[in-house]
Chain A
Amino acid sequence: MTVTAVPAHATRQGTPGSHRSNHRATSVALAMLAPAAVLMVTFLIIPILLTFGLSFTNARLISPVPAKFIGFDNFTRLFQNATFWKSLLNTVVFAVVIVPLQSGLALGLAMLVNAKVRGTNIFRTVFFLPVVTSMVVVSMLWLFMYQKNGLLNALLAKIGVQGPDWIGDPKWALFSIIVMSAWQAMGFHMVIWLSGLQTIPGELYEAASIDGAGPWKQFLHITWPGLRQTMIFILITITISAFSLFTQVNVMTQGGPLDATSTLVFMSVRTGFLQQQTGYASSISLVFFAIVLTVSLVQRYLTRDKEAKR
């Protein structure tokens, strides 16, 4: 990349000797940009390209033989693998359930703590505690609570309900992971919704209540339209993180029982790391990447109005 000095600072001020200081500015700019640029190319850009490249090879993680180009073999093999389709289905189900569940409940939380009443800050803090707790710890804790004789079933027994084997039963395992994941991340999206809510001018509500609009009408005609950008952002971030589901599965179920909780990332780790088939794992990553890209393009499409106006 050529980086040439363009009339910068010094020229604008018309200081003498601007030519020399321009040269210096360019080399200083390059020097300050260089560490980040080198690191991003090495650990981000090249791996992105490698995801494409390696998925058409038989590369292995540790191998004395150089990788060979094998065309679409990884993909044919992948599309014939039942675990792949099961993992894709689980990932999609997880995303489809958790996106509305988590974003809707998070909006409810945000509205509960939006009012400036005494004690609001305490509640906001408590709702946010799981967000700063690592997903590994949350998974361990819930694995314990989800035991057949664990906390959850003990509490259910109090009200006369016989709880299932949450994690051990293929019918309940994915659902249990969904509930736990929503519990962990909801506070995060509550804060994002809150910052959206606070951009809506209070006068709008005053005007509406003078016109006799009740709380529901105010929500429908003022709050909801005002949150459109926030909503799109939240939907995208939850969708992408839902497709990245891994930690919970690895800690709690190892993909089981009977592949009931296997996901795309879990499968790519299993093949690429445990079985060392980097090429094959890259083809899974590529499918995952294509999904994420599609989701982001849909987001671009949905937000195009606002960007055009800018």
Chain B
Amino acid sequence: MTTITVSSAEHKTSTRRRVAGWLVMLGRIVLAFVFGLPLVFMIVSSFKPDLQIFSDLGSWRAFVPVGDLSFDNFVGVFGRVPFARFLANSVIISVATVALGLLVNSMAAFALSRMQFRGQKAVLGVILATLIVPFETLALPLLWWVNQLPYIGADGFSWGWLDTYQVQIIPFVANAFSIYLFYQYFDSIPRELDEAATVDGAGWFRIYRSVIMPLSGPAIATVSILTFLPAWNSYLWPLMAIQTEALRPAMVGIDYFKQMSTSWGQIMAYASIITVPVLAMFIAFQRAFISSIAASGVKG
């Protein structure tokens, strides 16, 4: 009697567990379609002529590369606007922002973590306090302000930073959150290492360059990812600060492109070119991406 009850109870729980397992799997698959299919649709549509995009809409064909496929839309994108220039601008701006940011923010974090000076705590406090200020609150005053700044360039001295490369780079180099991430990481590196280097006669800058930075690979990866994405995706700022077509980044270019072209196939081709490289990078380095995002959760 007892044995029967036990086994039937066991049977019941194992069935329930199996059903729960199937439900979880079903949920995952449905959601994978919800999150993945719109992007598949975008990429697939970029290879189809407009007429076919619309006729495919009501069926599975919308998500599959079938029918009259070609690179015509991509050719159209490059023909209609200086798209190569837009792309180059985006690459220049994001690479410069990331590279300068790595240098400037890691040096500041090093000074805050390793060296002692009066006012250190206060400096760190101010940096952390600025984390709650969203960029959108300062965008308009900042726009006015950069227009008052002096500038020395190839063509001499002038006023106003609007419509330049540096207005898209320099304001975004110093980043409180990057400093904080480096600071946290540097604090986890044992101090015995720099003491040993000091005994060997290394100066502070040498310790930074030859001891701390080579050990900080994970922090460098995290900061690079977290500063690259907003730089590549930035939209509000270049929309206002850049008027010249030749200086425009690709994200703002898509808006402008849509005014020029009513072909959804071409717009999807444009969108795919600026998205697929980032998606590919994410898939290749997903562990680093996901742990970077998780790291941004510590700033509570």
Q: A-side interface residues toward B, CB under 8 Å?
A: 1-10, 13, 24-26, 28-30, 32-33, 35-37, 39-40, 42-48, 50-51, 54, 59, 61-62, 109, 112-113, 115, 119, 121-137, 140-142, 144-145, 149-151, 154-155, 157-158, 183, 186-188, 191-192, 194-196, 215, 229-230, 232-233, 236, 240-241, 243-244, 246-247, 250-251, 265, 268-269, 272-273, 278, 281-282, 284-285, 288-289, 292-293, 296, 299, 303
Contact = CB atoms under 8 A, between A and B. Distances in A.
Contact of A4 (B27, B42, B118, B267): B118
Contact of B235 (A9, A126, A135): A135
26 contacts: A5-B116, A9-B198, A28-B111, A32-B110, A33-B112, A33-B123, A36-B107, A36-B174, A40-B174, A40-B176, A51-B137, A126-B36, A133-B278, A140-B254, A140-B271, A141-B41, A149-B54, A150-B57, A183-B34, A232-B300, A244-B135, A246-B236, A268-B140, A288-B136, A292-B137, A293-B132
A280 B176 CA distance: 28
A194 B274 contact: no
Given A36-B104, A134-B275, A241 B116 contact: no
A269 B133 contact: no
B90 to A, nearest CB: 10
A133 B279 contact: yes
Contacts of A50: 138, 141-142, 144-145
Interface in B229-262: 229, 232-233, 235-236, 239-240, 251, 254-255, 258
Interface residues of B, number: 92
Interface in B81-123: 104-105, 107-108, 110-112, 115-119, 123
A42 B32 CA distance: 44
B38 A141 contact: yes
Nearest to A283: B140
A3 B108 contact: no
Interface string B254-285: 11001000001001100100110011001100
Contacts of A42: 149, 171
Given A134-B251, A149-B54, A141 B111 contact: no
B74 interface: no
A33 B136 contact: no
B86 to A, nearest CB: 12
Given A29-B117, A32-B110, A39-B173, A129 B290 contact: no
B117 A229 contact: no
Interface in B12-45: 20, 24, 27-28, 31-32, 34-36, 38-39, 41-42
Q: Which of A32, A195, A293 has the most CB of B within 10 A?
A: A32
A145 B176 CA distance: 38
The dominant DSSP class at the A interface is helix
B127 interface: yes
Contacts of B181: none
Q: Which of A112, A191, A246 has the most CB of B within 10 A?
A: A191
A230 B299 CA distance: 11
B130 A40 contact: yes
A9 B197 CA distance: 12
A269 B117 contact: no
B132 A125 contact: no
Contacts of B300: 229, 232-233, 236, 299, 303
Contact of A136 (B127, B208, B255, B299): B255
A151 B41 contact: yes
B254 A136 contact: yes
B137 A191 contact: no
B235 A247 contact: yes
A127 B32 contact: yes
A13 B195 contact: yes
User: 5 nearest interchain CB pairs?
Assistant: A39-B174, A36-B108, A272-B140, A154-B57, A134-B233
A112 to B, nearest CB: 6
A188 B268 contact: no
B58 A155 contact: yes
A186 B118 CA distance: 43
B145 to A, nearest CB: 6
B66 interface: no
Contact of A269 (B24, B38, B139): B139
Given A3-B118, A29-B111, A40-B127, 11 more contacts: A36-B107, A40-B174, A47-B141, A121-B286, A125-B282, A241-B134, A244-B134, A244-B136, A250-B235, A284-B140, A292-B133
Contacts of B107: 32-33, 35-36
Given A26-B117, A136-B254, A112 B24 contact: yes
Contact of B144 (A6, A54, A142): A54
